Structures are given as structure tokens and as C-alpha cells.
């Protein structure tokens, strides 16, 4: 087990696999740095997939999530919201599910979805995470970042995803992210789908080229507390 130091990181995903699609490389860098990581995944169901054996598929997804959490040496928290139906429950319930984990675990960095997303589930979780991490005196949360999820964020229609935070990725981080994606292989699609391994690898190269490195992940900044000039006295 990596010795835990420094940051406490919380990744909030609407669905199982969102955490790797959105921040799989960044979470690998946190793991390498010895930071404590918790994965909060709000839905493991497959209610939006007609024709599949829901119970068997759900059990498989949960087992995959456990393997991924072990790979990242992370704690895993699973909730029971229904896939593609987050808008059928009060948003306060979603917010409180996230807020409870924030209060219990005191993260310093929180990753979650962007509101620039086609998925209604993703947008609801983005808004709920912003509410659950709103700043107040004594809050542990200093940074809230919003990720992009291929085959969802790039298809959003209300606004474009506009990243301002880029995390360079080492070769080891890229490799660990690839391992996690392969665990979630049943969620991937063949090339040229935007959720193919080839497209997901290309995304890292594109984001890396934007900042002059080999590979990177990009995030929108929801909130970041950092004093360039500290007040005197």
C-alpha cells in the first residue's frame, strides 16, 4: 500500500466507469504521490440498457468497480441511484449523498462532472457536487475540478467544455489508466467510436499537446483556493 500523504482526493462519478474516463490519469498521479483517494459512484444500475440481464450486468459492473478501486488503492463508496434517471429524484437527495461523504471524509480536492455534458445524469451530479462542496468557514475542500467524459461531454449542446486546468501524466499514469479502462472493457466500444481505447488514448495526446507534454488530462475549474500573494499581518 502506498504511504498516504498530503492531499485527500474525492472523485464523484454518476456511473461506474466515469471516474476512470474522466480522471483516470490524474487519480493515478495522486496514487503515485501517496494521496488518499476515495471513489464515490452514485449508480451501478443498467436500467437504460434494454435487452440485458440487469442483475448480472450490475453485479459485473460492481465487481469491476471494486477491481478498479483496488488498482488505485482507493476506498470505494457505491450508491443506488438509477442509471439515466437521476432527474426522477429530488436533486437535494443527490446533493446530500455527496455532502455526507464530503463531511465524513474531508477531501481537499474533488473531481466530478462538467455541466457541459449531454448526459442529464452527469449535469445533475455536476450541480450537486458544486452544491455539496460550496465554500464555508472550516471547509476542507480547496479545489473542485470538472472532468470530461468521452461520448458525453463532447456531444453537449448547451455550451462547450472549456478546460483551464491540465494535469500532465507520466507514462506510468497512462499505463495504469489503460489497465483500469481494460477492467471496464465491457463499457468500451470499437474504433472509431469516441469511447474506444484508441480515441481515449488520443484524447490524452491531444490534451498533452495543448500544454507541450506527452500526455495530459484536462479539467474545468469549478473552484480553487490558492493565494498567489498572501495577506500581510
The 10s digit of each residue's pLDDT in 135-179 is: 999 999 999 999 999 999 999 999 999 999 999 999 999 999 999
Whether 3 has a pLDDT exceeding 70, the answer reads no
Q: What's the predicted TM-score (pTM) here? A: 0.94
CATH code of the domain covering residue 67: 3.40.50.10320
Is the residue at 170 inside a domain?
yes
Is the residue at 146 inside a domain?
yes
The 10s digit of each residue's pLDDT in 168-207 is: 999 999 999 999 999 999 999 999 999 999 999 999 999 9
152-176 exposure pattern, b = at least 16 Cβ within 10 A, e = fewer: bbbebeeeebebebbbbbeeebbeb
Among candidates 121, 20, 127, 112, which has minimal Cα distance to 74? 20
The pLDDT value recorded for residue 228 is 80
- Which domain range does residue 80 map to? 8-186
The 10s digit of each residue's pLDDT in 115-132 is: 999 999 999 999 999 999
Dihedral of CA atoms 59, 75, 27, 128 in degrees, nearest 10, equals 80
**Mean of pLDDT values over 63-83:** 97
Is the residue at 3 inside a domain?
no
Residue 187, SS3 per DSSP? helix
User: Per the structure, how many domains does the chain have?
Assistant: 1
Is the residue at 80 inside a domain?
yes
Is the residue at 208 inside a domain?
no
Q: Please, what is the average pLDDT of the chain?
A: 94
Amino acid at each position: 500500500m502506498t504511504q498516504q500523504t498530503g492531499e485527500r482526493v474525492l472523485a464523484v462519478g454518476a456511473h461506474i466507469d466515469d471516474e476512470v474516463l474522466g480522471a483516470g490519469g490524474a487519480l493515478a498521479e495522486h496514487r503515485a504521490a501517496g494521496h488518499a483517494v476515495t471513489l464515490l459512484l452514485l449508480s451501478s444500475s443498467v436500467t437504460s440498457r434494454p435487452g440485458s440481464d440487469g442483475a448480472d450486468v450490475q453485479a459485473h459492473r460492481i465487481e469491476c468497480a471494486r477491481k478498479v478501486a483496488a488498482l488505485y488503492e482507493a476506498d470505494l463508496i457505491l450508491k443506488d441511484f438509477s442509471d439515466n434517471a437521476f432527474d426522477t429524484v429530488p436533486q437535494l437527495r443527490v446533493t446530500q449523498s455527496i455532502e455526507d461523504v464530503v463531511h465524513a471524509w474531508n477531501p481537499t480536492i474533488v473531481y466530478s462532472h462538467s455541466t457541459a455534458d449531454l448526459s442529464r445524469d452527469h449535469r445533475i451530479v455536476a450541480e450537486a457536487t458544486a452544491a455539496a462542496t460550496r465554500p464555508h468557514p472550516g471547509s476542507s475542500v480547496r479545489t473542485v475540478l470538472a472532468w470530461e467524459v468521452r461520448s458525453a461531454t463532447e456531444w453537449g449542446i448547451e455550451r462547450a467544455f472549456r478546460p483551464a486546468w491540465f494535469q500532465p501524466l507520466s507514462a506510468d499514469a497512462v499505463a495504469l489508466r489503460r489497465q483500469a479502462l481494460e477492467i471496464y472493457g465491457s463499457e468500451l466500444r470499437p474504433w472509431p467510436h469516441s469511447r474506444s481505447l484508441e480515441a481515449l488514448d488520443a484524447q490524452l495526446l491531444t490534451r498533452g499537446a495543448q500544454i507541450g507534454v506527452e500526455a495530459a488530462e484536462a479539467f474545468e475549474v469549478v473552484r480553487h483556493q490558492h493565494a498567489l500573494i498572501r495577506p500581510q499581518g
